[in-house]
Structure 1
Amino acid sequence: MGNPKRIYDPRYWILIFSLIVITELLGFVTSSLFPTSKFIKYTTFIILIGALPFLIATIKGLRKGDKELRQSKLKLKNIFDTLDVAIWSHDLRSGTLLITPGIEKLYGYSYIDFYQDLDLWKKVIYPDDVHLLDDREKKLARGETVTSEYRIVRPDGEVRWIQDRGFPTLDSNGNFVDFNSVLFDITDRKESEDRYRSLVEMSPDIIAVVSQDKIDYINEAGWKLVGASNPEELIGQSPLKFVPAEIVEAFKIKEAKHGEKRTRLEFQVKQLNGETIDVEMASAPIFYEGRFAVQVVGRDITERKITEKTIQNMAYHDSLTGLPNRNNFRDHLNKVLNRQQENKLLAVLFLDLDRFKIINDTKGHTVGDLILQMVAYRLEMAIQNEGFVSRQGGDEFIILLEDVDKERATLIAQRILYEFSKPLEVNHQEFFVTPSIGISLYPTDGRDEESLIKNADAAMYQAKERGKNNFRFYSSKF
């Protein structure tokens, strides 16, 4: 079956009518000019009949063009219906206004409502955002393209974010003659940004963005950390004002490259008042406003560092006297032995206090503790910077002397004995406490930590057996 719509196409009727008129006119003209020539009359008719297929093909082409145009318009309409986009076009000279139906999806009003009230788009703007229109109108009047982001209130009370990009046209006299605007719903993006911004601003951690050797952004936790009263005090400042140059280099702030590995460091930050705090920070390269930058995230670990130092001090120092403890001494001795050369000598002095147990039992632990503190002080005074003094526990102390021979060790032992020749005064009472000292030498009396301490201990017992308040060098003949 043929297409029944074809016979209703007005262009076909116009064609037939035109052919009849043209045929009659040609017939009249040829009859007047050539009344006796039948050939010319028939030739004119044949030419008209021959032109008919061409005219029909032309109309078919027009029909095909119309169909493709309708299909293109339909596709375009479907695209605009799918997207949260609306177009507003207003020819101010003719007053012609074009609004695409997509505006209904954005604003919740019929697009007819916008034709009836040209200011409706302004009336539904969220009150807190109305102030943006003044700056927008000034820029449009100068012929500048303007992108505005503002909130609107839909009829159901829902608040949506709109991005409005306006394109003004001015004539040669600078008059505003035409205006086009493309409107997008950006609510999802803005809400996502707001959630991220809220998380960043409310975070107890430091979050900052640095690019081109300048601080571009820093959250509240960050600017408060360095002692600023607002972020403006820091924006645009160099991070070198607060962070050592080697840290800036380690974070690769100067030449941030997208995709590089993250860096995590612990270092000290200088506050605006000149004081320093300990921080732990991690960095990662990002894009920020279209350029490479470094985002740093960190926290104040000053309290943690103090706690760690306290724990370490407790683990390696005697809580009563403040001297290095047994573990600290052994670690230190092993480090010295590992780097010790064969031609260098060491001396380990093992001390035990004579008569301390009697004082501690009769006068109490409080007096005993005070005496131990005073003993530690006198030992440090006797050794000064020539050795490593530690408390092993109870009334036992051990000292390491580096790069000394037997004669030098003898002099230092005698100096210790002299320090204890004077009484210790506690609570207005005088106590005489003397040490017995055993000495072992490296490498003759041992090459490892255990042998040196054990032999110094053995020599100390020999000193006690020989009358106390003296010293003895280790000898395998004991």
Structure 2
Amino acid sequence: MSNAIKPALSAVWSTDACDFCVTSQESPEGLLPALKGVTLSEWLEFAQADNDATIAQQLTAALEMLTPFNIEVPINCLDGTRRRVILSGLPGYTTSNSLGHFNGFILDITGQRKALEDALRTATEYRLLIENSTDLIAHCDRDGRYVSISPSYSEMIGYSVDEIVGQRVVDFLHPDDRVSAGDALMHLFEGGVLPDVVEVRKRHRDGHYITLGTKACGVSDPSTGDNIGAVLVSRDITHDKEKMRRLEKLATRDTLTGLPNRAWVYDKVRGMLSEGEDLTFTTVLFIDLNGFKPVNDTLGHAAGDVLLQQVSERLKHCMRSGDSVARLGGDEFLIAAKCLNREAASAIAQRLIDSLREPFVIHKMEVRIGASIGISLAGFGSVSVDQLFDHADKAMYQAKAKRTGSYQFYGG
């Protein structure tokens, strides 16, 4: 049997006092089983598409009691389709002014029934989705106040539905996120779209914050097209953010000292060189420790690691605001700074050398080392990062050759 539904059908009919159908007008013709010449009960028995006996009982009772009826029934049509129709009848009066016959109609409601069933099914599926989703699903009105939330909302942030619904969305956010989140909502209310996920921190009932990635879209009134609010679908990305921070740290930090590594400082210097309106010089200071190898060989690698950690702390304390210190590997470190001239760079270098000349204590033993520093300065667009690093490296080897624990500029 075909499931294709043709255009809706209808029929107007009337019966005589013996319940035989005497007139029938159908549109379109040829779809309904013949009505004329049979009783309504006979027609129903032939046309009905299921075995629901209550339908026939309802019709029989109405005919016997001469009462109006309005019965929904599935029927098999002559084109092979199955349709749902309303079979309606109203008692009529004979010429003697007594009840004895019926007038009525048949109306195809297949389309309406299907639309209703689809809507109910969609609503059920949506409700199941909302109730079982681990994502946070919420609806807010144009005032930015919660209208509804999914059960997962309460489970994740600790507030009950009654405590959330009616409250402003932004009131549950970290104070630093409220302005940007409010602007994003207003953009939706004005008909805009937010193609990207909005990251916010939502306050838990106990006071801590959960980082959420939220996808939001506006909701419009289907009759007017006016915005009536927004749907917000959020996911807890707290652990993802922590994982990203750990991975970023592994990628850009030296595991022994915690200082930035070569990759990080390379990008840092590249950004400094690109600052075209800056009148200062991008300055790189290469530091190589003097006397580190004897300590490492005599006291062991563990002691050497402790020494490198102590060196990194001293270097950090020598930095000005905005300066950066990184470990390149082994006993080599690098300082990235902005300097007005060579005198400013010299001051940094001398401060580093003086700091490293002070004795270190390793396993209750006093250890002394020094440093050789190579310095290279560059203005905007004058050299590449690789060239600047290479110049500082060459200057460092020149300083090391002096064996005086001093610094040397590239080019003299």
What TM bracket, shorter-length normalisation? 0.5 to 0.7
**Aligned partners of 1:320 and 1:420: how far apart in 2?**
19
Q: Does 1:374 align with 2:306?
A: no
Aligned length: 320
What is the match of residue 106 of structure 2? Answer: none
Q: Does 1:200 align with 2:142?
A: no
What is the match of residue 89 of structure 2? Answer: none
Of 316, 331, 334, which aligns to 2:270? 334
TM-score (norm. length: structure 2): 0.67
| Counterpart amino acid of residue 353 in structure 2 | L
What is the match of residue 286 of structure 1? Answer: 219
Of 263, 277, 281, which aligns to 2:210? 277
Moved more, 427-436 or 102-111: 102-111
Gap change, CA 1:276 and 1:425, over 3 Å in 2: same
What is the match of residue 435 of structure 1? Answer: 371
Q: Does 1:392 align with 2:322?
A: no
Matches within 5 A, 1:393-472: 393-443=329-379, 447-472=383-408
**Aligned partners of 2:243 and 2:273: how far apart in 1?**
31
Q: Quote the RMSD (CA, aligned, Å).
A: 3.7
Q: Does 1:71 align with 2:71?
A: no
What is the match of residue 302 of structure 1? Answer: 238
What is the match of residue 109 of structure 1? Answer: 54
**Aligned partners of 1:329 and 1:282: how far apart in 2?**
35
SS in 1 for 2:318: helix
**Aligned partners of 1:264 and 1:80: how far apart in 2?**
55
Please give the per-residue CA displacement for 1:27-55, whole angstroms capped at 9, x wherever unaligned: xxxxxxxxxxxxxxxxxxxxxxxxxxxxx
Moved more, 433-442 or 268-277: 268-277
Shift of 1:399: 0.7
Please give the per-residue CA displacement for 1:90-114, whole angstroms capped at 9, x wherever unaligned: xxxxxxxxxx999998976245369
Please give the per-residue CA displacement for 1:300-323, whole angstroms capped at 9, x wherever unaligned: 111111111111122222121111
Q: Does 1:247 align with 2:247?
A: no
**Aligned partners of 2:123 and 2:60: how far apart in 1?**
34
Q: Does 1:352 align with 2:352?
A: no
**Aligned partners of 1:190 and 1:372: how far apart in 2?**
69
**Aligned partners of 1:428 and 1:409: how far apart in 2?**
35
Please give the per-residue CA displacement for 1:166-195, whole angstroms capped at 9, x wherever unaligned: xxxxxxxxxxxxxxxxx9976664344222
Gap change, CA 1:358 and 1:369, over 3 Å in 2: same
**Aligned partners of 2:32 and 2:180: how far apart in 1?**
54
**Which ranges in structure 2 are unaligned for 5 or more consecutive residues?**
1-20, 34-43, 63-108
| Counterpart amino acid of residue 211 in structure 1 | D
| Counterpart amino acid of residue 217 in structure 1 | S
What is the match of residue 198 of structure 2? Answer: 266
What is the match of residue 145 of structure 2? Answer: 214
Please give the per-residue CA displacement for 1:191-218, whole angstroms capped at 9, x wherever unaligned: 4422221122111111111122221111
Gap change, CA 1:459 and 1:194, over 3 Å in 2: same
What is the match of residue 231 of structure 1? Answer: 161
Q: From the two aligned structures, give the one with the greater helix fraction.
A: 1
TM-score (norm. length: structure 1): 0.59
Identity of aligned residues (%): 28
**Aligned partners of 1:80 and 1:187: how far apart in 2?**
24
SS in 1 for 2:248: helix
| Counterpart amino acid of residue 132 in structure 2 | M
Note if contact 2:253-2:260 (Cα within 8 Å) is conserved in structure 1: yes
Which structure has the larger Rg over C-alpha atoms? 1
| Counterpart amino acid of residue 286 in structure 1 | V
**Aligned partners of 2:32 and 2:206: how far apart in 1?**
58
SS in 1 for 2:158: coil
| Counterpart amino acid of residue 71 in structure 1 | S
